[in-house]
Every structure is written in C-alpha cells, then in structure tokens.
Amino acid sequence: MTFFIDAKPYPYALPENKPCLIVIDMQRDFIEPGGFGDALGNKVELLTAIVPTVKKLLDGFRRLDLPIVHTRECHKPDLSDCPASKLQRGKAALKIGDKGPMGRILIDGDPGNEILDELKPLPGELEITKPGKGSFYATPLDEFLKEEQITHLIFAGVTTEVCVQTTMREANDRGYECLLVEDATESYFPEFKRAALEMIVAQGGIVGWTSTCDKTLAGLEQAYGKR
C-alpha cells in the first residue's frame, strides 16, 4: 500500500524505505542578533519565527525513528575552503572570518556557527559542515544517503531561496524525490520565499513538492507509525 503526504502540485508518494529529514543551517550566525545574517542588515526575527515549527518537525521524525541530517554552512579557521569571491562579496558590516559578538563569522568551532540549542542534533543524527550553499558540494551527504538507500528527502531550514533551494536542486539532479515543508523554512525576504516555493512546484513539480508541517507529519504517521 502506498501512502502520501498532501502536497503541491499533487500528493507526494512515500517510499517503503524511510525518508530523510534535512534541516538546513539552523545556526546562530543566521538566526540570532550579532551573527552574519544580522551583519548583512537582515531582520533575523523572520527566521527565528520558524524555530518552533522546525522543532515540531524534528520531534515527529524522532518519534517515528526516521533519519535526520543537519547542516551548517561554515569554513575552516584559515579560510582555505572559502573562495575569494565569496569572502569579498557584499557590503556586510562583518565579513566571513571577522570577529563578531559570537566569535568569528561562519567559522567552524566558533559559538555563532553552532546550531540553535533547541534544534541541536541528537546522537545518531548526522551533522554535516558545508563550505557552499548546497549541501552536496564538498560533503559526504550523497554517500550517506546512498549507503542508507534513502531516495526521498524532506527539507526544512534557511534560507529558502539560497541554501535550501540550492540543496533541493542538487538533490533533484541526483534523482532524489524532494519535498519542502513551507512553514519550516524562511527567508529574510518574504517575496523571495514565495517565489522559491512557486519555482519548486512549477511545471508539475520541476524541482519537487511543498507541504505544511502538519500535513507532512500526518502523512508520515500513516506510513510509518504502525510499523
């Protein structure tokens, strides 16, 4: 029997093998005052607002014993994995590697690069550090998913139109079936989020599907709750 999540542009069929939740970059540098997002002049409170929904999604996956991957965008302390074009671009008050209120901006190991306390990975959940926007570039993500025979990915995190959409497009090109949870993702620019969601489901789901947290959890419960 095939189970589905009520989604756009049409129901998302769930696999026999378990789908994986990928939570993108829910880290202090992007979400809290004093981090990189704040230094760019963004309203970080827009991203903070989705934290309870992401937590609800995580709790649902954990309850059903479904796999979870967390990502953090960050760089080595010597910035050897940060291209000059990325390092120099923009007019941020603080650039990557500069010292801010939470340590050096987007540097692995500094406090600002940590995942928010309420969303921290639990033992057994994979945490991936990534030097780029997409989660497949220069990371072990694809290898992990293939080893676990995972074919379906459900996404949450920030920001919708940058790291989240980039990862979904990378996954789509690799043959994964992708769904984005609309109320568990956010952008500093609401109009960018709306456009990204429309792009994902356009032309019959050219990149994938979208749904809500409650609909996603309801579908997962039906499919995997009694196994």
Answer yes or no: 74 catalytic: no
Q: Which of 20, 82, 163, 178 is catalytic?
A: 163
Q: Which of 8, 25, 38, 193 is catalytic?
A: 25
Single-letter amino acid code for the residue at 19? P
User: What are the phi and psi torsion angles at 76 (to 5°)?
Assistant: -65, 155
Answer yes or no: 25 catalytic: yes
Answer yes or no: 213 catalytic: no
Q: Which of 95, 130, 193, 215 is catalytic?
A: 130
Catalytic center residues: 25, 130, 163
